[in-house]
Chain A
Amino acid sequence: MVYPLVVTKRMMEHPADSHTMKRYEATGGYVAARQSVGQTREELVELVKASGLLGRGGAAFSAGLKWSFLAPARPAYLVVNGDESEPGTFKDRQLMERDPHQIVEGMIIAAKANEVHDSFVYIRGEYPKPARRLQQAVADAYAKGYLGKGIFGTDYDLELTVHLGAGAYICGEETALLNSLEGRRGEPRIKPPYFPAAKGLYMKPTIVNNIETISNLPHIINQGSEWFAGLSDSADTGTFMMSISGHVNKPGNYELPHGLTWREVIYDVAGGIRNGNELKAWVPGGASAPWFVPELHLDRPVTKEACAADGSMLGSGAIIVMDHTTDMVGAAERLVAFFAEESCGQCTPCREGTTWLDMILQRVLNGAGRDADIDLLLDVADNISVGLGWPPKQTTICPLGPSAVSPVMSLVRHFRDEVEAHIASAPHSGGQGVAVSIRGIA
């Protein structure tokens, strides 16, 4: 099955040099940027609104609408989020490494659409090669006069700075990213202010867009909003990229149309389960998404709406596939451990709760589980995400804490028997443990 490609078309057709200025310009590059520099903010915002492009960072908010909210105060900034760090996600890495000029061009369009003159792309520190490629592309664009003073011979100025993170998942959260870009700890900001579009970088109006979102822009300019919207049957227009990893035969990034079924994605696109094993479960949209299981979800469509209806999410489009050999307690522990490790530490429930959840799961895995641990897991989880519902309610500034709750809930919902088996194998599982008195202290 061959699907139409947008953002990965060039790299697929020209694998040897898709990242170079020469190839980029030979395949229609910078035509869109050159054109949009002559267009007004209103024209560009309306075009992108009409294309139906939704942000690809996970929240799926209309890109054009987001732009239209940018407050009029100046200076204002464009910040592109290349801090892709969600376990299972590696699509932006490919876009940066293999087609960096597409991002530079997209940023020129986004900058012009928002009348900003200073832009940044924040790349996670673990991506030195993508960062180098993007840096090279930026340098080439400066050399050609596509960035800097008076770009494309107009009087429009645009600076673009590549900024490196240094190992913090939380900087993918946009306000944490802005703090990080300001040279601070990457801690999410409290609300209000509610949107960076009003108060963002240095508390100035700021547009924050994702790498994949930005990569789509040159194509929308070149081929029009109707073409882009026509690529999909749903409100979620264009194509979207999925990162598929885990126990599949063909892991990797795939640019796909909306509306396939999970069976098609896992068995056709990703080549099925390794060694002919049985599919046990998969994470549908990044580490914080509640798990899907074949009995319930294999023939459900891969759309945001269907995932939401089934109590999960498509998120950033990362699917992690687990076969029947997987210890689900181990898998859950690994997911919880990630969030515990990556908690910024501001909010008490997240800082203390995620680590506590991980400690309990580790204890269960190490043969020191107790019967009371399942209830304890659920109640600690409930204190991080009140009511344990979906979408999660949070007691915290950002959703990271509740994200750690989701694998615990999935584990208990679908694989309670495996947890109980671990606990039953523990030598002292029957005890309730020692409760530590808090009251009655000095």
Chain B
Amino acid sequence: MSDQLVKITINGVAHHVHGKSVLIKAAEDTGTYIPRFCWHPRMAPVGMCRMCLVEVEGPRGVMLVPSCTTPIHDEMVVHTETDTVKKAQEGVLEFLLANHPLDCPVCDRGGECPLQDQTMAYGPGESRFVEEKRHYEKPIPISDLVMLDRERCILCARCTRFSDEISGDPLIEFMDRGNSTQVNTFTEEPFASYFSGNTVQLCPVGALTASPYRFRARPWDLRVIGSTCTVCTAGDSISVHASQNEVLRYLGVDNDATNHGWLSDKCRFGFEYLNSDDRLTTPLVRGADGEFAEASWSEALSLVAEKLTAIVTDHGPQAVAGLGGSRGTNEDAYAFSKFMRTVVGSGHIDSQMDDGLNPQLLAALSGKGLIGDLEYARTILLWAADLKEEHPTLYLRVRRAAQELGAKLIIVHPRRTGLDDRATFKFGYKPGDGARVLSELMAGQGEYAAARAALSEGPVVAIVGRTGLTESPVLAESVAAFARDLPNASVLPIVRRSNTYGALDMGLAPNLLPGRAAIGSPGCANLEATWGGLPTKAGYDAAAIATGVDEGSIKGVILLGADPVADMPNGLDLSSPDFVVAIDLFLTESSSQADVVFPALGFAEKEGTVTNLEGRVQKVNRVVPGPGQAREDWSILDDLSARMGKPMGLASAEAIAKEIAHVAPAYESVTWDLITWDHPDGAVVPVVAERSPLEYVPIVSSASSTPTKSEFVLHSARTMYDDGVMCQQGPSIGRLAPGAAAYLNPDDAQRLGVTDGDLVRVASTKGQGDLPVVIDVSLTVGVVYVPFNQPGGPHFGSDLAVTLVKL
């Protein structure tokens, strides 16, 4: 294996290419396409379909070799278009079609099928196979999302390889042998993978089809636009496919920096909420009878302007608070930031729902670590949420680093995680006890000695976040403080909502201003000039806003795509404020309590930019118009500002992006044009050294330890599918939420006298509920795990202490 340039001659033309490649890739990179079915650039070659046979000159004459398994070498001479090659390719195609049903007219793949395309390009005109074809029952559902038609399958092993090598859940396999070989799942176990949709996209025929897309469209009828997924924080590149103003599917796009082409099923099938009949289409105003009535935009905007102005006049601007902004675009977030600071004049604004990390920490670390650093990491410290549940494509990248690239993986988490099978070291602990674990890890004491030694081997990538909602953000900050001083360390701080990083960069935090500036930072002259002044002191964060609401000091609340009632661990009492306005896609638990609700455009219905966990800015694009009278968030806020007499003057997403680049120096170089035309894969916001959040230095603090005398402590974490509105408004994925349950160590279960399925009453200061028990050996004694925000599940808040009683 060499990375030096070697000379290969393909069809008489010499090329100089990097030596570490298989022939099929080197040929493609130099402009010669060799047909293939089983080879995929992101997976290990298997050499099974034999479509890529080419002739290579060698010491024993010209040999027919599979170009997908043959490494290139210097002075290699290759022929891809000789009669022998063509005969071999025609032969393979005839073999593949021998048992293929040729049911293209009723196949979802028809029109975008590699088998169909290559048959047209390289195949014989007719088949001489007149014998009986193989027959299977068709199609069979192998999961809630995927259908399998074995008659169409050409046994390329892409799906089986993906599941085994990439996603690490080998639930789909070759069964039987020889001519009877078929792809299938275990008799009793469906293909229940968070990544099953990738196999549909990988399938070179119509053997695997996605239930949500089956028979919905023909590829030639689709409008396709590139965009960026906003389900998790990785910023996965996708293409959005729509027909007749309806989004019908997403496909993953291979972005070397982020997702390598993969998507989680939540992302892939999560678009269905956009097409929901429950989408808001007109403004709603609560009438005297307490019921919502449809209203015109003018009516609703005037009412909101009047109410907000009145609150500001009567109680001062600090009586108004804003929550949200982390689900939309940077332009929406900037508009919200500007609206709160310059129109309302309040600093009570937070885009995190009391479940994230210190915004200063995030701003200080942003841009200092890349997902791509995982490719070079020797040691990975993962002390954050279960990536498989919350950051699925990042999970795939870490899995790859640990499995394929040989990085040592250290996981610290109170419960099992999706990566445990690839962990070199896994440490469990009781939530609240993290500071002790950290100090022992730092000191390399006892069981931590080997892991600490591994952390001395750089490059280190540390993925840091809160493992659960009951865990103090101070712990993650302490871990980050430790990790940033490790050799060649990259620290990737992890929070949940997709555009939290963008929202913080736009100043949607009580102590931040656009451009990763802290309040009081130098270098905000353009911002000051544009905004006509700057805030001088920090406002409330989400938790303080909730307190302010309870105490009555917050009279007006503006929700921008936020559902704090359901989504904040400790909830928010929206019945108390005098006036609540929500900008949302749906009537959620929160917006349904508002006085006025504005219908907003969602993903694929508007354009703009988003910023991922690395600080990478990418475009999202519009492909459908959106329902009814729904509008962009920024445009609603802009209209409101004008009616409140302080017009923000925002004209379009592109214009806002220009304003951002002007007022936020960090974004100066990441222009709209750059990422639209020159860097469609996105560009990372450069770190601007003189901005003050960057002077923010996290420290290891023992305040992250929260001793409790309670017999049980609560570990509560989010799952991929939950009761969130985007999940529940999608028929395909909404039903996949695991449901609320109390997970217990077997010893605790024995002590309580309960076993799998028995009911226990779990109670905290914030709530209680009767939950079925699930025995979980990965938990430490004294820990009860309850997945957060499950359909029908109670909320327990973020306190550690809970009580358990057998029912």
**A–B contact, 8 Å CB criterion (strictly below):** yes
* Interface residues in chain A, defined as those with a beta carbon under 8 Å from any beta carbon in chain B: 168, 185, 190-192, 340-349, 351-356, 359-360, 363, 376, 379, 382-384, 386-387, 393, 395-397, 433-439, 441-442
List 9 A-B pairs, Cβ < 8 Å.
Answer: A185-B177, A190-B46, A345-B178, A345-B181, A346-B48, A347-B49, A352-B179, A354-B179, A384-B91
Enumerate chain B residues within 8 angstroms of A355, measured Cβ to Cβ. 178-179
Given known contacts A346-B46, A386-B87, A435 and B181 CB-to-CB distance under 8 angstroms: no
Task: Name which residue of chain B comes closest to A433, CB basis.
Answer: B130
Find out whether the CB atom of A439 lies under 8 angstroms from the CB atom of B120.
Answer: yes
Contact A438 B97, CB 8 Å, known A191-B69, A347-B50? yes
> Which of B99, B128, B176, B177 meets A376, CB within 8 Å?
B128
Q: Mark B43-70, 1 if CB is under 8 A from A, else 0.
A: 0011111110100000000011010010
Q: Report which of A185, A191, A435 forms a contact with B126, defined as CB distance below 8 A.
A: A435
Whether the pair B178, A437 counts as a contact (CB closer than 8 A) is: no
Do A343 and B178 form a contact, CB below 8 Å, given A383-B94, A395-B64, A438-B125? yes
Query: Contact between B50 and A352 (Cβ–Cβ < 8 Å)?
Result: no
Contact B116 A348 (CB under 8 A): no
Q: Are A438 and B178 in contact, CB atoms less than 8 angstroms apart?
A: no
Write the nearest CB–CB distance from B2 to chain A, whole angstroms: 14
Q: Hey, which chain A residues are within 8 Å of B171, CB to CB?
A: none
Q: How far is the CA of A436 from the CA of B101 in the complex (A)?
A: 11
Is the Cβ of B110 less than 8 Å from the Cβ of A348?
A: no
Q: How far is the CB of B749 from chain A (nearest CB, A)?
A: 33
The residue in chain B whose Cβ has the minimal distance to the Cβ of A376 is B128
Interface presence of B137 (CB below 8 A): no
Chain B residues with a Cβ under 8 A of chain A = 45-51, 53, 63-64, 66, 69, 71, 84, 87-88, 90-92, 94-99, 102, 104-105, 107, 110-111, 116, 119-120, 123-131, 154-155, 174, 176-181
How long is the Cα–Cα vector from A435 to B53 in the complex, in angstroms? 26
In the A-B complex, the 5 residue pairs with the smallest Cβ-Cβ separation, listed nearest first, are A383-B91, A345-B181, A352-B95, A442-B104, A343-B178
Q: Is the CB of A435 within 8 A of B128?
A: yes
B290 → chain A, closest Cβ, in Å? 57
A397 surroundings in chain B (CB, below 8 A): 47-48
CA distance A438 to B88 in the complex (A): 17
The interface residues of chain A lying within 8 Å CB-to-CB of B176 are: 345
A438 touches B127 (CB 8 A): yes
A residues near B48, Cβ cutoff 8 Å: 346-348, 397
A435 & B127 in contact (Cβ 8 Å cutoff): yes
Contact status A438-B111, CB under 8 Å: no
**When A191-B69, A395-B91 are in contact, do A352 and B104 touch as well, CB less than 8 Å?**
no
Taken together as a complex, chains A and B put the C-alpha atoms of A355 and B107 apart, in Å, by 26
Residue ID in chain A nearest B96 by CB atoms: A348
Determine whether the beta carbon of B71 is less than 8 Å from that of A349: no
A386 proximity list for chain B (CB < 8 A): 64, 84, 87-88
Given A351-B179, A351-B181, A438-B126, also A356-B131 (CB < 8 A): yes
Q: CA separation between A387 and B64, bound complex, in Å?
A: 11
Chain A residues near B181: list those with CB within 8 A. Answer: 345, 351
Instruction: Look across to chain A and name the residue whose beta carbon is closest to the beta carbon of B37.
Output: A348
- The contact of B102 among A343, A344, A441, by CB within 8 Å, is A441
Give chain B residues whose Cβ lies under 8 Å from the Cβ of A439: 119-120, 123, 125-126
Report the Cα distance A436→B181, complex, angstroms.
Answer: 24
Min distance, Cβ A172 to any Cβ of chain B, angstroms: 15
Picked from B104, B107, B154, the residue with its CB within 8 Å of the CB of A348 is B154
The reply to whether A349 and B95 contact each other, CB–CB distance below 8 Å, is yes
Interface centre among B48, B99, B105, B128 (most CB of A within 10 A): B128
Q: Which residues of B contact A393 (CB under 8 A)?
A: 63-64
How many angstroms between the C-alpha atoms of A363 and B132 in the bound complex? 11
Q: How far is the CB of A73 from chain B (nearest CB, A)?
A: 16
B residues in contact with A344, CB < 8 Å: 177-178
* B62 nearest in chain A by CB position: A393
For B84, B94, B123, B178, the residue with the greatest tally of chain A CB atoms inside 10 Å of its CB is: B178
How near does chain B come to A183, taking the closest CB pair, in angstroms? 13
Partner of B131, one of A192, A363, A387, A437: A363
User: Which residues does chain B contribute within 8 Å of A340, judged by CB atoms?
Assistant: 178-179
Collect the chain B residues with CB atoms within 8 Å of residue A438's CB: 97, 102, 119, 123-127
Collect the chain B residues with CB atoms within 8 Å of residue A435's CB: 126-128, 130
Residues of chain A lying within 8 A (CB to CB) of residue B105 = 441-442
What is the bound-complex CA distance between A411 and B560, given in angstroms? 79
Identify the closest chain B residue to A435 (Cβ).
B126
Q: Which residues on A sit within 8 Å (CB–CB) of B102?
A: 436, 438, 441
B119 touches A396 (CB 8 A): no
CA–CA, A229 and B178, complex, Å? 42
A376 to chain B, nearest CB (A): 6
| Closest-CB distance, B73 to chain A (whole angstroms) | 11
Distance in Å from the Cβ of A386 to the closest Cβ of chain B? 6
Chain B residues contacting A384 (CB-CB under 8 Å) are 91
Closest to A343 in B: B178
Q: List the B residue with the shortest CB-CB distance to A339.
A: B178
Q: Which of chain B's residues have a CB closer than 8 A to the CB of A363? A: 131
How far is A383 from B131 in the complex, measured between Cα atoms in Å? 18
A91 to B723, CA, bound (A): 67
Q: A356-B98, A436-B130 are in contact. Are A442 and B110 (CB under 8 A)?
A: yes
A438 and B120 alpha carbons, distance in the complex (Å)? 9
Contact A356 B129, beta carbon cutoff 8 Å: yes
Provide the bound-state CA to CA distance between A351 and B174, in Å: 14
**B125 in contact with A190 (CB, 8 Å):** no
Chain A nearest CB: distance from B156 CB in Å? 9
Interface centre among A341, A345, A396, A434 (most CB of B within 10 A): A345
- Chain B nearest CB from A427 CB (Å) reads 16
Judging by beta carbons under 8 Å apart, are B126 and A190 in contact?
Answer: no
Min C-beta distance of B24 to chain A, whole Å: 13
A408 to chain B, nearest CB (A): 15
Cα distance, A356 to B130, chains bound together (Å): 10
B130 adjacent to A192 (CB under 8 Å) = no
Which A residues are in CB contact (< 8 Å) with B98? Answer: 352, 356
Q: How far is the CA of A272 from the CA of B733 in the complex (A)?
A: 73
In angstroms, Cα B128 to Cα A433, docked, is: 8
Residue numbers in B under 8 Å from A437 (CB-CB): 125-127
Complex formed: what's the CA distance from A393 to B69 in Å?
Answer: 17
Partner of A185, one of B46, B99, B107, B174: B174
Other A-B contacts than A192-B69, A347-B47, A441-B102, 11 sampled, CB-CB below 8 A, are A190-B46, A341-B178, A345-B179, A347-B50, A348-B96, A352-B98, A383-B88, A383-B92, A397-B48, A437-B125, A442-B104
Closest residue to B123 on the A side, CB-wise?
A438
Using Cβ atoms and an 8 Å threshold, which residues of chain A touch B120? 439
| A441 contact set on B, CB distance < 8 A | 102, 104-105, 116
A352 CB, nearest partner CB in chain B, Å = 4
Q: A340-B178, A386-B64 are in contact. Are A348 and B47 (CB under 8 A)?
A: no
- Which residues of the partner chain A approach B51 to less than 8 Å between Cβ atoms? 348
Q: Which of B119, B120, B177 has the most CB of A within 10 A?
A: B177
- A375 (CB) vs chain B CBs: closest residue: B128
Q: Report Cα–Cα, A393/B62, bound state, in Å.
A: 11
Using CB atoms, name the residue of chain A closest to B174: A185
Query: Quick one: closest A residue to B61, CB to CB?
Result: A393
In the complex, residue of chain B having the shortest beta-carbon distance to the beta carbon of A168:
B177
Please determine whether B46 and A436 come into contact, CB atoms closer than 8 angstroms: no
Asked if B177 contacts A345 (CB within 8 A), the reply is yes
Q: How far is the CA of A397 from the CA of B66 in the complex (A)?
A: 9
- The distance in angstroms between the C-alpha atoms of A393 and B63, with both chains bound, is 8
Q: Which residues of A contact B155 (CB under 8 A)?
A: 345-346, 348, 351
**Chain B residues within an 8 Å CB radius of A395:** 50, 53, 64, 88, 91-92
Distance in Å from the Cβ of B175 to the closest Cβ of chain A?
10
Are B174 and A190 within 8 A (Cβ)? no
* Bound Cα distance A396, B47 (Å): 9
Q: Which residues of A contact B125 (CB under 8 A)?
A: 437-439
Closest chain B CB from A433 CB (angstroms):
5
Query: Which of B90, B104, B174 is in CB contact (< 8 Å) with A345?
Result: B174
A360 CA to B98 CA, complexed, in Å: 13
Give which listed residue, A185, A353, A360, A436, contacts B95 with CB less than 8 A: A353
